[in-house]
Amino acid sequence: MGNTSSMLTQYDIEEVQQHCNNAFSQQEIVSLYERFCQLDRNGGGFVSGEEFLSVPEFAVNPLSQRLLRMLDGLNFKEFVAFLSAFSPRATVQQKIEFIFKVYDSDGNGKVTFNDMLDVLHDLTGQFISEQQREQVLTKVLEEAGYTKESLLVMSDFVKLHNMMHVAYLMVVRNSLVLVGSELSTPDYCKTLLSLSSQSVFEIALQVTLECST
């Protein structure tokens, strides 16, 4: 699998499937390999950040730069392991662990108030002010028993996961009020998903299985 010009053997497929804890079927792994080869334009067996940025859906995503530090230089086995968090077979814990890595910008295993604030900024852009974002995030942390000075590890982040979705919802609602939009609660949720979950998870599917040939 070091050179993408070669075909996957049955042994390769089974090895990759085991490496990703059976998150993908063997046919899905073959499809992922075909997409990997499309991205690996020089056939070196690795996909660079520049090659990922050639995918329009990836380049315009607000979280693309954060994902690039996790994607740059992956070989095929690592590529599939990265995508395993997006599989329907992945557990909630696996998905949360992935999102934690997105927030943990320096990779030290801890998430700070500023880390969360930066992601919130990436997802909401100029819809609301920095002060409003800080107020929302501070309230969420305080309700969970944390402060702005808290350094969150994985177990803390699992506890905060659902509350962070509430934070995004509050931000979206404030944003819509500012632009004069009147939406029902379900519409708030749809907008929330378009800013958060879709930004994190569907971006990978755009790059892989749902691509044009």
The number of domains in the chain is 2
- Please write the tens of the pLDDT for every residue from 8-28: 899 999 999 999 989 999 999
pLDDT at residue 181 greater than cutoff 80? no
Looking at residues 154-173, what average pLDDT do you find? 63
Secondary structure, 3-state, 57-89: HHHCCCCHHHHHHHHCCECHHHHHHHHHHHCCC
- Please write the tens of the pLDDT for every residue from 89-112: 888 788 888 888 888 988 899 999
pTM for this entry: 0.69
Helix/strand number for the chain, H first, E second: 13, 0
Tally of CB atoms within 10 A around 157: 19
Domain residue limits at 65: 10-90
Which pLDDT value is given to residue 27?
A: 92
- Please write the tens of the pLDDT for every residue from 55-74: 776 777 777 888 888 888 99
pLDDT at residue 153 greater than cutoff 90? yes
Spatial separation of the C-alpha atoms in residues 211 and 196, rounded to whole Å: 21
Question: Which CA distances in Å does 64 have to 9, 50, 204?
Answer: 32, 11, 10
Query: Are residue 106 and residue 173 in the same domain, yes or no?
Result: yes
Greater confidence, 156 or 186?
156
Query: Are residue 127 and residue 175 in the same domain, yes or no?
Result: yes
> Nearest to residue 62, comparing CAs of 117, 137, 121, 132?
121
The enclosing domain of 64 has a CATH number of 1.10.238.10
Greater confidence, 4 or 132?
132
Does residue 149 fall inside a structural domain? yes
Does residue 36 fall inside a structural domain? yes
